Amino acid sequence: MLRSARSVSAPPSGVVALRSLVALLPAVWLVACGTGADRAEPASPETGQRPAGVSPLFEPLPAEAPAPADNPTTAERVDLGHKLFFEPKLSRSGVISCNTCHVVGAAGIDARHVAIGEGAREGTRNSPTVFNAAFLKAQFWDGRAPTLEEQAMGPIQAHVEMDLTPVEAVARLDSAGYGPFFAAAFPDDADALTFENVAKAIAAFERTLLTPGAPFDRYLAGDESALTDAQKEGLKLFQDAGCVGCHNGAMLGGSGFAGFSHAQGKGDMGRAAVTQEAIDNYVFRIAPLRNVALTGPYFHDGSVRSLQEAVEVMGNSQLKRRFTAEEVASIVAFLEALTGEFPLITHPRLPRASGVSR
């Protein structure tokens, strides 16, 4: 389902407010977005009372993402970050942008098992979705960046991804005509066009990429018709089997780390590469499950294509339990209820100074 993008004061250019239009979209569009639009009957009113039997470990997805004191989510910063997220000049070839690996029109992923960057070089890990990343306790599969701002700096500089130095990135943006946009977004900075502010603007934009309104959120709010009977059965099994022990909170994951036996024996040592501690061998950030039905392939290495197989693997490796086909189908049904409403993000008009070709 598409929803209008929110902003702090005025909507950023290209992030279109279309509430009335979305209400008129043909049903086929809604089905194509995988939001369970087959339930055409009116939803029962939300009571504010959590249905009986639902774990207190679950939390609804907040409507807004908190911002750090040094990077408020202003309309000007979101607008600039929107442009920078789509800006191919931030890659050495002038072809790759943040949106290349985190496609906002495709649930924030690239659907590859691992990302492809500059010179067709393959990375070693799957590109996680950018949607709702603002609520994660740490960024990247190994948690090496605690904030969105720090995360935004990494891919631009990484040789396998965008392969630019901070100095090169700033020079390219300056020559393209970005100066006035940085000045508007960072009015208190004498030198507004800096690499640090590039990251701040991208992070501000990413804090607007939220997907509230999932059937599970409506269910938590007391609308017991928001889930089908199959999804309710899947929720019960998800809890009873112990999945909720790791996949909890507003993101149903993403707030901690866990060993992943499925990865053992492979080259990626996970968090140990960050901490240099043997105890962190094959430890990865617990995957958040918001919109998981749309964000395959799965796991840090993208080694599993289907959600059904991912559930089977998790049962075997993490719970030491072999789910039956019926149990897998039940859990998958519940996971499909975690698909929220995506904002409609258009491609922005990018600054281009006269006579500049790169």
Residue 112 in any domain: the answer is: yes
Number of domains forming the structure of the chain: 1
What is the SS3 assignment for 295? coil
- Domain hosting 128: range is 75-209
Q: Which of 76, 87, 149, 161 is catalytic?
A: 161
Burial class (CB in 10 A: 0-12, 13-18, 19+), 295: buried
- Beta bridge mates, 58: 249
Residue 217 in any domain: the answer is: no
Mean pLDDT of 154-177: 97
The pLDDT of residue 6 is above 80: no
Residue 80 in any domain: the answer is: yes
Asked if residue 253 lies in contact with residue 286, where contact means CB atoms within 8 angstroms, the answer is: yes
B/e letters for 177-203, b = 16+ CB within 10 Å, e = fewer, are: ebeebbeebbeeeeebbbbbbbbbbbb
Residue 259 in any domain: the answer is: no
Residue 301 in any domain: the answer is: no
Q: Is 161 considered catalytic here? A: yes
Residue 231 in any domain: the answer is: no
Distance CA 87, CA 90 (A): 6
Q: What is the tens place of the pLDDT at every residue in 166-212?
A: 999 999 999 999 999 999 999 999 999 999 999 999 999 999 999 99
Residue 192 in any domain: the answer is: yes
Tell me how long the chain is.
Answer: 358
Percent of the chain with pLDDT over 70: 86
Question: Can you list the alpha helix ranges (DSSP code H) found in the chain?
Answer: 19-23, 27-32, 75-85, 98-101, 148-157, 166-176, 179-185, 195-206, 215-220, 229-240, 272-275, 307-318, 325-336
Q: What is the tens place of the pLDDT at every residue in 63-82?
A: 999 999 999 999 999 999 99
Question: Which CATH number characterizes residue 101's domain?
Answer: 1.10.760.10
Residue 1 in any domain: the answer is: no
Residue 238 CA: distances (Å) to CA of 125, 229, 247, 294, 329: 27, 14, 9, 19, 12
Residue 180 CA: distances (Å) to CA of 98, 351, 353: 22, 10, 12
Q: What is the tens place of the pLDDT at every residue in 123-146?
A: 999 999 999 999 999 999 999 999
In sign, the C-alpha dihedral spanning 152, 254, 134, 23 is: positive
